[in-house]
């Protein structure tokens, strides 16, 4: 740093963080890392199977509703 | 406050080490987190404290910055510059804080006009400055507009290179250099004004 003014800034003191607070932050971050790691290592769930089943059931339901409406008007 | 400037509080990270740390952070390695935390925590806190001038706010923003890192660790790009990334988050959190304060302050403005005392607070650094020169620099820094103060803190105090500092501020390196030049001039003028004021005061009290 050749600039004397920036050199002055470089010499300014650093802040001192309360050690308890620093440790608390570290602990929280470790806990969050462990949580993310556990989530990532969990085997793939069967969520992927549910959407087709839900779509099928929804389709059946709508078909039944349509059939009831048509029956109501005496069409079928 | 600890003495001696940036060099004693940072652990230099060469590019290979940084790449390896990013890779380990992406898989949630706590030891890698500790290395980054030990290297950058004080620099980040010093930056935030000089921006906010409040210990409690700086600590809260610091905690949120680190939590953002662990939350996004698995999505980090392999070539992420950790220092620039963390300072960017810290800066953005400060901007959000200032915005929320502006909204609160505008709501409270009517009440504050009834308050008979000045609410201007001195910087925590100012209160513990070791000598008059440091105190004057802290006062001059604190009086600068936020954008100017920010670039001086990033380049002059935190020791970021121009490219990283530009990334943090969301501007081009050319714009960063221009902003830094203007900020530097403003700081020099503010320091000169302080010196003149001290001299004229001394002239008044010296027989």
- Tens-place pLDDT, residues B25-51: 999 999 999 999 999 999 999 999 999
Picking from A17, A28, A33, the nearest residue to B41 by CB comes out as A17
Picking from B7, B33, B137, the nearest residue to A12 by CB comes out as B137
**pLDDT (tens digit, 9 = 90+) per residue, B98-117?**
988 877 666 665 555 554 44
CA atoms of B31 and B24, how far apart (whole Å):
9
Higher-confidence residue of A29 and B129: namely A29
pLDDT confidence tier of residue A8, bands split at 50, 70 and 90? confident
**pLDDT (tens digit, 9 = 90+) per residue, A14-69?**
899 999 999 999 999 999 999 888 887 776 655 566 778 888 999 999 999 999 99
CB contacts of B5 in chain A (<8 Å) are 10-14
**pLDDT (tens digit, 9 = 90+) per residue, B147-161?**
999 999 999 999 999
CA atoms of B18 and A24, how far apart (whole Å):
25
Contact predicate B157/B150, CB 8 Å: no
Which residue on chain B is closest to A6 by alpha carbon? B156
Answer whether residue B7 shows pLDDT above 70. no
CA atoms of B74 and A38, how far apart (whole Å):
12
CA atoms of B32 and B40, how far apart (whole Å):
12
Picking from B33, B49, B155, the nearest residue to A15 by CB comes out as B49
CB contacts of A29 in chain B (<8 Å) are 33, 37, 66-67, 69-70
Answer whether residue B64 shows pLDDT above 50. yes
CA atoms of A30 and A22, how far apart (whole Å):
12
pLDDT at A75: 82
B58–A15: do the CB atoms touch at under 8 Å? Answer: yes
Which residue on chain B is closest to A13 by alpha carbon? B3
pLDDT at A38: 85
Answer whether residue B10 shows pLDDT above 60. no
Mean pLDDT of B154-181: 94
Picking from A10, A14, A36, the nearest residue to B42 by CB comes out as A14
Q: Calculate the average pLDDT of chain B.
A: 83
Tell me if ipTM is over 0.85.
no
Angle between helical axes of B15-26 and B82-112 (0-180°, round to 10)? 70
pLDDT at B118: 41
| Burial tier of B159 (Cβ tally within 10 Å: 0-12, 13-18, 19+) | buried
Which residue on chain A is closest to B129 by alpha carbon? A13
Answer whether residue B206 shows pLDDT above 60. no
- A26: contact with B, CB 8 A cutoff: yes
CB contacts of A8 in chain B (<8 Å) are 133, 137, 156
CA distances from A19 to A16, B6, B15 (A): 9, 19, 29
* CA distance to partner chain A, nearest, from residue B177 (Å): 13
A30–B30: do the CB atoms touch at under 8 Å? Answer: yes
pLDDT at B133: 81
Non-local (6+) Cβ contacts of B84 within 8 A are B160, B164, B167, B168
pLDDT at B65: 97
Q: What is the pTM of this model?
A: 0.74
Which of A53-57, B74-78, B164-168 comes out lowest in average pLDDT? A53-57
Contact predicate A10/A1, CB 8 Å: yes
CB contacts of B190 in chain A (<8 Å) are none
CB contacts of B71 in chain A (<8 Å) are 32, 36
* CA distance to partner chain B, nearest, from residue A26 (Å): 8
- The number of CA neighbours under 13 Å toward the Cβ of B142 is 20
Higher-confidence residue of B118 and B37: namely B37
Strand pairing partners for B2?
A14
CB contacts of B149 in chain A (<8 Å) are none
Per-position DSSP letters for B86-109, written without gaps between them:
HHHHHHHHHHHHHHHHHHHHHHHH
Q: Is A50 helix (H, G, I), strand (E, B) or coil?
A: helix
pLDDT at A66: 94
What token pair was written down for A52? 């087709």
pLDDT at B1: 55
pLDDT at B6: 39
CA atoms of A45 and A67, how far apart (whole Å):
36
Chain pair A-B, CB pairs under 8 angstroms:
115
Q: Is B160 helix (H, G, I), strand (E, B) or coil?
A: coil
């Amino acid at each position: 740093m050749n600039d004397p003014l920036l050199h002055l800034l470089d010499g300014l003191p650093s802040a001192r963080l309360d050690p308890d607070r620093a440790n608390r932050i570290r602990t929280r971050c470790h806990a969050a890392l462990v949580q993310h790691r556990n989530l990532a290592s969990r085997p793939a769930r069967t969520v992927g199977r549910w959407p087709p089943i839900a779509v099928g059931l929804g389709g059946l339901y709508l078909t039944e509703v349509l059939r009831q409406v048509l029956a109501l008007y005496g069409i079928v | 406050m600890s003495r001696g400037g940036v060099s004693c509080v940072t652990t230099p990270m060469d590019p290979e080490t940084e790449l390896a740390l990013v890779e380990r952070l992406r898989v949630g390695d706590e030891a890698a987190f500790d290395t980054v935390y030990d290297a950058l925590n004080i620099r980040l806190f010093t930056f935030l404290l000089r921006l906010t001038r409040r210990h409690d706010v700086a600590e809260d923003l610091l905690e949120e910055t680190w939590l953002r890192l662990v939350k996004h660790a698995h999505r980090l790009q392999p070539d992420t510059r950790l220092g620039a990334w963390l300072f960017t988050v810290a800066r953005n959190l400060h901007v959000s804080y200032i915005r929320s304060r502006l909204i609160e302050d505008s709501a409270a403005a009517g009440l504050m006009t009834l308050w008979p005392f000045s609410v201007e607070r001195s910087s925590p650094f100012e209160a513990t400055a070791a000598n008059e020169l440091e105190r004057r620099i802290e006062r001059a820094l604190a009086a600068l507009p936020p954008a100017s103060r920010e670039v001086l803190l990033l380049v002059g105090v935190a020791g970021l290179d121009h490219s990283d500092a530009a990334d943090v501020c969301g501007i081009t390196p050319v714009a960063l250099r221009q902003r830094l030049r203007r900020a530097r001039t403003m700081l020099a003028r503010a320091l000169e004004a302080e010196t003149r004021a001290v001299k004229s005061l001394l002239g008044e009290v010296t027989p």
